[in-house]
Each structure stands twice: as structure tokens, then as C-alpha cells.
Amino acid sequence: MNQKNKQDWMTIRKLRTTDILGQAIKEELTGFTVIDRTDKKITTDKGKIFTEFVSCSYLGLENHPSLIEAAQQAMAETGIHLSSSRGAMRPQYLQQLEELLSEIYGGNSVVVFTSTSNVHLGVLPLLGSGSLPSYAITRPVHWLIDKTAHASMQVLRGVLEQFGLVSRVDSSDEESIQQALQTCKKNNSTPILLIDGIGSMTGVLPVAKLSKELSAAGGYVYVDDAHGISIVGNYGAGYCFSSLDHKLPENLIIASSLSKAFGGSGGFVVVKDIKDVEVITTLANTLVFGHSIMVPMLAANVASAKIHLTTEIQTRQKNLWKNINLFDTLSNNSLMNAGGLSPIRGAMFENEADGFEVARMLRDKGILLFPVFYPFISEGKALLRFAFSCEHKENEIIDLVNSLIEIKNEGFSWLTPKGIIPQV
Ligand SMILES: Cc1ncc(COP(=O)(O)O)c(C=O)c1O
């Protein structure tokens, strides 16, 4: 098909999207408005109270008195925002946060961005152009994007193509990876693998093994660990860093989020050396031409980082995993990701209508979750996504399991955990 007749990705997405999401919003199965909350109980603008399994703040830190106090104090001192790029002027909390994050990540170097998407947009062009001193590129680049890598990386395909070929791989399939690496070897190119540490919809990837395989091929791994941060690892360094024995391999970069389990807002990147930081802060598009995190959130991030460096983070991690294990045990490991290191469990349905109906039944039982359809997952299917927190009470977990059992007894069924891995 020539360029003129080829459909762009957004048109394809639009054509494939059904009106199921609109219906789910209309019925307030998703997209509802929250006016109040206490722990995991939320009150919507219709005055109804639900238990939510939606939030990605898996450790409940966004409600921590230290974060709230830090935000209030910072606002009183500097106002809500210092509106300028960090190169021109920055709140004192930015440097404090980067130093604390560096401590959490074993002394490696950290740069903070306003979001994880902005980390990708800022850092990947620097990596692909061979501009980062610790990540030299001497041959043409070949990007390998994992099929489950987050949409914030997939959408950059057009940007990445300016630096080299782009292929899709399945990192959970050894043959797919080996084939891709063979192709790179044949073409004398440098493979750069882009993956999620813990998928937002799927399970975990073997980061350490992939790092070794890419290293043997002279390549790099770039890991988005947005969902892995805080919930495991020393000082809550997250899934990726802990699965690497808390050491950053020479060929690996971690991108992560401050807006999920960390309890604050923003994103950051972990690189090998201060020289990489100098390049990132002077050249990354989203830093040079963007503002820094707003003052109260930046100060809250600092307070959260300090908590990460205490034993309190372990207590919260322990309570989170106690809740997840309770759910897995009571539900007989019957949901996606059961027994795994992801804090998310999923019920996948063969068709959108069944998933929709089950979300509706759970809502009527006082439980809200995140129902997702295409383009989050493959066309025609539905996934009910349950995010767990250390703040869920035992009776809330038991209620969820009992509700799922009742729904199953009414004739609804979801695919077994090994059924289908959704494509994001
Ligand atoms: C794995 C992953 N990466 C990146 C993002 C984007 O994060 P941000 O909103 O900070 O850009 C998300 C958000 O949901 C995510 O789940």
C-alpha cells in the first residue's frame, strides 16, 4: 500500500474502537467523579459510596500526613508553581528529590521529569542518537519494542524511526527475542529493547535475563517500571532494580513514575553516570522546553522519598502483599497475574458485553474497578482490572471475592490466567 492510501494509526484506532467505553462512562462504571474518600472508600458526586480497586497508588502514600504537610509548607513558602523550565529556575525540592532518589537507586544518577511519558520523549532520542556518554552507539540503531510495552513508548514509533529501524518483539518468548537479535547481528546494528518491568495490564518480564541477552548482543535495555516502583525492593526501589540485585547493569536504563505507588507526581530516569545527567538536563526536549513539577507535589515527592528510606516502606509493602495473597488464595488463583509480582489482577472476557455486564454487577454490589476495552487490549475483548492497595481492609477483599463467586454462579466466566495476554 502506498503512503497515500495507508491509514495512520490514529484513524485505525478510531475505526476499531466501539462505543462500549462511552456506554461504560454513561453508566458510571468508569470515568466517575469522586468528591470524597477515606482509605479505599470513595464517594461519587451522586452521593454513593464504593470500595475502589482502581487507583495505582498501591501503598496509599498520597494520604500520608508527611506528604500533605510537606505540600502545604512548600506552597506557603514558594506558592503553587515556579513557572519556568528547570534550566532557568527551580524549586529547592528538585535537587533534594534527585539526591534522595539516587540514594534509593544505589548511588546511580537520577533526573526528574514531570511525567513518565516525558521521560520517554526526552531520553529515548538521546539514547538512539548515541548522545548519552555511558550508552555509546557505534552502529545503526534497531529499536525492539516489546508488544506489551506501555502505549507511551509505542506512540513514539515515528520519533524512534528517525534514529533507526523499529520492530515489535515478544520479550516473554525466547525465540522472538533470539530471532530479533540475530537480525540485528546480521545487519550489524545495535539493538535497543524497550519493555515494561511490570505491565500495566500484564505480568512481569525477566529483566535480568533480557539485560544479559542484550548485553551479549552489544545492545541496551530501556525499562519502564512505572507499576513496579515502591511495591518491592530495598527502599522501595521497585521490581526492575530489585530483580537486578539492586545494581544497574552497564547496558540498562530505568524510567519510572512518581505518580503511582510513590504517592506523588512526576517521572524520573535512572542512568549510570553524572555525565549522562548533564546531557539529559541540557538536551532532553521535555526538560529544556518544559516546566518542572509543581511546588506542592515536588515537596510531597521529597517527603515520600524520605519515607522510602525508612522501614515504613517495608511495612506498607508487607500489607500490600498480604492483601494480594489473600485475594489470590480466596479466588483460587483464578485471575490473570495470580501469584505474580504485579499488584494488578485481571478478569479477561471473550466479548465486551460480558465484561461490561460483570462490571455493572460488581458496581451494584458497591465495588468499582477499571473496565478496559480496545485499544487497551485486543479488539472485541474486555478486561476487568483490579488494582490492590495496602489500604484495602480484609473484609473489602473478602467482599470482592464473594461477589466474583456469586457472579460466576450466575453463569458468567472469564478466561483462565494463561488464556490470553492482552496487547496494549
Ligand atoms: C507503564 C506506564 N508507563 C507510563 C505511563 C504514563 O505515565 P505518565 O502519566 O506519568 O506519563 C503509565 C501511565 O499509566 C504507565 O502505566
Pairing of strands 252-257, 367-368: unpaired
- Assign residue 130 a region (left: φ > 0; alpha: ψ between -120 and 50; beta: otherwise): left
Residue pair 347/383 in contact (Cβ under 8 Å)? The answer is yes
- Four-CA torsion 241, 247, 250, 253, nearest 10 degrees: 20
- Nearest-atom index, ligand 1, CA of 119: 11
Q: Is the pLDDT of residue 422 over 60?
A: no
User: CA of 247: how far to CAs of 9, 105, 274, in Å?
Assistant: 38, 8, 16
**How far, in Å, is the centroid of ligand 1 from the Cα of 195?**
13
- Nearest-atom index, ligand 1, CA of 267: 10
Specify the residue with its C-alpha closest to ligand 1, atom 14.
Answer: 200
**Cα angle for residues 169, 170, 173 (degrees, 5° grid):** 130
Residue pair 227/199 in contact (Cβ under 8 Å)? The answer is yes
Any bridge partners for residue 169, and if so which? Answer: 146
Task: Among 112, 117, 118, 147, say which to mutate for ligand 1: greatest number of ligand atoms within 8 Å of CB.
Answer: 117
> What mean pLDDT value characterizes the chain?
94
Tell me the pLDDT tens digit for each residue of 191-243.
999 999 987 666 788 999 999 999 999 999 999 999 999 999 999 999 999 99
Q: Is residue 18 very low, low, confident or very high in pLDDT (cuts 50, 70, 90)?
A: confident
Task: Among 150, 259, 297, say which to mutate for ligand 1: greatest number of ligand atoms within 8 Å of CB.
Answer: 150
Q: Cis peptide before 133, with omega less than 30 degrees from 0?
A: no
Q: Is the pLDDT of residue 169 over 50?
A: yes
Residue pair 49/365 in contact (Cβ under 8 Å)? The answer is no
Residue 414 grid coordinates: 472469564
**How far, in Å, is the centroid of ligand 1 from the Cα of 118?**
10
| 422 compared with 91, residue with greater pLDDT | 91
**Residue in this structure with the C-alpha cell 490514529, named with its chain if needed:** 10
- Nearest-atom index, ligand 1, CA of 200: 16
Which one-letter amino acid corresponds to residue 308? H
**How far, in Å, is the centroid of ligand 1 from the Cα of 278?**
24
| CB-defined site of ligand 1, < 6 Å | 115-117, 150, 152, 196, 200, 224, 226-227, 257, 259, 267
In this prediction, residue 415 carries a pLDDT of 84
Task: Among 55, 57, 114, 116, say which to mutate for ligand 1: greatest number of ligand atoms within 8 Å of CB.
Answer: 116
Q: Is residue 423 very low, low, confident or very high in pLDDT (cuts 50, 70, 90)?
A: very low
Specify the residue with its C-alpha closest to ligand 1, atom 7.
Answer: 116
Q: Is the pLDDT of residue 4 over 80?
A: no
Q: What is the longest distance spanned by two Cα atoms in the chain?
A: 63
Which one-letter amino acid corresponds to residue 98? E
Specify the residue with its C-alpha closest to ligand 1, atom 9.
Answer: 115
Q: Is the pLDDT of residue 250 over 70?
A: yes
Any bridge partners for residue 336, and if so which? Answer: 346
In this prediction, residue 202 carries a pLDDT of 65
Residues 124, 159: Cα–Cα separation, whole Å: 9
Which pTM does this prediction carry? 0.95
- Nearest-atom index, ligand 1, CA of 259: 10
Residue 227 grid coordinates: 507499576
Tell me the pLDDT tens digit for each residue of 300-312.
999 999 999 999 9
For the chain, the three-class secondary structure string (H helix, E strand, C coil) is CCCCCCCCHHHHHHHHCCCHHHHHHHCCCCCCCEEEEECCEEEECCCCEEEECCCCCCCCHHHCHHHHHHHHHHHHHHCCCCCCECCCCCCHHHHHHHHHHHHHCCCCEEEEECCHHHHHHHHHHHHHCCCCCCCCCCCCEEEEEECCCCHHHHCCHHHHCCCEEEEEECCCCHHHHHHHHHHHHHCCCEEEEEEECECCCCCECCHHHHHHHHHHCCCEEEEECCCCCCCCCHHHCHHHHHHCCCCCCCCEEEEEECCCCCCCCCEEEEECCHHHHHHHHHHCHHHHCCECCCHHHHHHHHHHHHHHCCCHHHHHHHHHHHHHHHHHHHCCCCCECCCCCCCEEEEEECCHHHHHHHHHHHHHCCEECEEECCCCCCCCCEEEEEECCCCCCHHHHHHHHHHHHHHHHCCCCCCCCCCCCCCC
Task: Among 55, 155, 200, 342, say which to mutate for ligand 1: greatest number of ligand atoms within 8 Å of CB.
Answer: 200
Tell me the pLDDT tens digit for each residue of 389-404.
999 999 999 999 999 9
Residues 405, 348: Cα–Cα separation, whole Å: 15
Residue pair 169/176 in contact (Cβ under 8 Å)? The answer is yes
**How far, in Å, is the centroid of ligand 1 from the Cα of 152?**
7
Task: Among 113, 230, 257, say which to mutate for ligand 1: greatest number of ligand atoms within 8 Å of CB.
Answer: 257
**How far, in Å, is the centroid of ligand 1 from the Cα of 186?**
34
The sheet with strand 382-387 has its strands ordered as 344-349, 382-387, 370-372
- Nearest-atom index, ligand 1, CA of 198: 1
Residues 285, 119: Cα–Cα separation, whole Å: 10
| 52 compared with 415, residue with greater pLDDT | 52
